Every structure is written in C-alpha cells, then in structure tokens.
Structure 1
Amino acid sequence: MTTATVAQLTAAAERVGRLIAGVKPDQWGDPTPCAGWDVQALVSHLVLGNVVDVSALTARPMTFRSLQAGFDESAADLAAAFRAPGALDRTVEVPFGRVSGAVALHLRLTELLVHGWDLALATGQPPAFADEVVEQELAHTAPMLTGMPVGRRPFADAVDQPPSAPALDRLAARLGRRPLS
C-alpha cells in the first residue's frame, strides 16, 4: 500500500482552499452532498478537523485563536505538524480512535478529498484532485472501513458506484456520498 505524503496533503489542501475561495456570496447557505451540512458548515468542519489533528500531533490543546483560523491558515499549521520529526510515527488520538500519525495523514487526506468533492458539487466547481492520490486513498479506505464497527464509522453507508466511475466519485460513494439531486 502506498503511503500518503505531506506533499499530497498540501496539494489537496491548496485545491480545497481554491474551492473555498470560489464560493460565491450567495452559496454559503446552499446544501452539500454531506447530509445536513450547508457550505458554511462544511468549511467550518474542515477547519475544525485541521485544528483537531494539529492538536493531536503536537500534544497542544486547541485555542480560541486556532479555532478562529481560516482554512488556509489551519491547513498550513496542519502540514507543519505532519512535517515535524517523528509525527508520522507517534500514536495520536483522532475522533474515532488511536492511530499512528501515518494513518492520521491518510485520514486527513481522504477527508480533504471527499469534502472537497462535496464543496465542488455544492458550488458548481470542478474538484480537480490528482487521480493517483484519489486511487491511493480508495485503496487505503477499503480495509479500514471493513474493520471498523458500523456504529463507529464517521461516514454514511457506502453508495453503489460503477467501477468505471471517476476515482473521486467512487471514493465519495464509498463514504456514503450521493450527488445532489
């Protein structure tokens, strides 16, 4: 299995940052494929996820200031935390359990890809993530989801998607996403 890299995370975060910058003023309240979340809630969730992972990787508590950061700032802090010596080797606490820093990197990368897809669909923008990175995360999520108890999965049940569908659509479907109707 291919290991996720901080460079991949940074590239995905930069793309999500461009998607956020492309949100039109009247789109912040629009629904997303992530059930129950509008565009604003989705972006807030992405920032919070970055801050939570930084806190886990650095063993420093979240602060009011870090929780008020914008996406680009929180993503830069996240990349710096993952680049710190030993970050990928230490065990960290994420919302659904204790994992290695390397697994946390995969999880965060997958989160950026799938929520980037959510944001792109909600705002009519192309997601434009690297297919090889999406395929890598598809391969990584399959065994993780298989071993995860249903009640502890942070995602909805998988949605059928043909094998010929684009990689990002298949990854989003694996995590319970359906395009907006």
Structure 2
Amino acid sequence: MSTATVDQLAGAIAHIGQLIAGIKPDQWGDPTPCAGWDVQALVSHLVLGNAIDTSALTARPMTFRALQAGFDESAGELVAAFRAPGALDRTLEIPFGRVPGVVALHLRLTELLVHGWDLSQATGQPAGFADDVVEQALTHTAPMLTAMPDGRRPFDAPVKAAASAPALDRLAFRLGRRPFSVGR
C-alpha cells in the first residue's frame, strides 16, 4: 500500500479551499450528503478537524482562536505541522485513537476527500481531486473498515457503488454517503 504524503494533503486542501471559495452566499444553509449538516456546519467541521490534528501534531492545546480560524489558516497550520521533522513517525492521540503520524495523515486526507465530495455535491461544483490520490485512499480504507467495530464507525454503513463509478464516488459511498442531488 502506498503511503499518503503531505504534498497530497496540501493538494486536497487546495481543492477544498477552492470549493469553499466557490460557495455562493445563499448556499451556506443548504443540506449536504453528511446527514444533519448544512454547508456551514460541514466547513466548520473541517476547520475543527484541522485544529484537532494540528494540536495532536504540535502537542499544543487547541485554543479558541484555532477554532475561530478560517479554513485556509487552519489548513496551513495543519500542513506545516505534518511537515515538521518526525511528525509522521510519532504516535498521535486523535479522535480515532492512538495512531502513528502516517496513519493520522491518511485519515485526515481521506476525511478531506470525502467532505470535499460532500461540498461539491451540495454546491454543484466539481471536486477536482486527483484520481490516484483517491484510489490510494480507497485502498487504505478497506482494511481499516474491516477492522473497525460497527459501534466505533463515525459514518453510516457502506453503500454499494458500481465498479465503473468515479473513484471519489466509490470512496464516498464506502464511507456511507448516498447519491445526492443539489437542492434536494
């Protein structure tokens, strides 16, 4: 299995930044494929996730300021923290549990890809993620999902996707997303 890289994370973050910049003022309250979350709540979740992982990587407590940060600021801090010497070799405490830094990187990248899919679906924008990065995330999630107890899954049960479906759809469906239409 290939290993996620910080450059892949930075690329996914750049695409999500473009998606966020493309959100129209009247779309912030629109529903997303992430049940119960509108566009604003989903973007807030992305900022929170960035802040949590940055805190774990830097061993600095999360601050109220970090929670108020916009996506670009929190994403920049996250990438810098993952680029720090030894970050990928350390064991980190994240909401998923104690994991090596490289696993935390895979998890964060996968979450960003899937929530990027959520944002693209909710706002009618193309996601724009590299297929090879998404395929890598698909490969990485398969054994993790098999090992994860049902009660610990932070998402819905997988949805069957056609083998011919785009890689990002297959990843999103594997993590419990369902087909979604804008303005549903």
TM range (shorter): over 0.9
Once the two structures are superposed, residues 28-79 of structure 1 have per-residue CA deviations (whole angstroms, 9 ceiling, x without a partner) of: 0000001110000000000000000000111100011111100001000000
Query: Does 38-47 or 92-101 show the bigger shift?
Result: 92-101
Q: 2:60, 2:89 → 1: CA distance?
A: 17
Q: 1:124, 1:176 → 2: CA distance?
A: 20
Q: 1:66, 1:124 → 2: CA distance?
A: 29
State the percentage of identical aligned residues. 78
1:112 aligned residue: 112
Q: Which runs of 5+ in 2 are unaligned?
A: none
What is the deviation of 1:179? 2.2
Q: 1:125, 1:35 → 2: CA distance?
A: 19
Query: Where does 1:49-64 land on structure 2 (aligned, <5 Å)?
Result: 49-64=49-64
Query: Does 88-97 or 3-12 show the bigger shift?
Result: 88-97
What is the deviation of 1:87? 0.4
2:12 aligned residue: 12
Query: Where does 1:79-158 land on structure 2 (aligned, <5 Å)?
Result: 79-158=79-158
CA RMSD between the two structures: 0.6
- Scaled by the length of structure 2, the TM-score of the pair is 0.97
Q: 1:10, 1:94 → 2: CA distance?
A: 20
Q: What SS does structure 2 have at the residue aligned with 1:88?
A: helix
- Scaled by the length of structure 1, the TM-score of the pair is 0.99
Q: 1:104, 1:64 → 2: CA distance?
A: 23
Query: Is 1:180 equivalent to 2:180 in the alignment?
Result: yes
What is the deviation of 1:128? 1.0
Q: 1:179, 1:136 → 2: CA distance?
A: 22
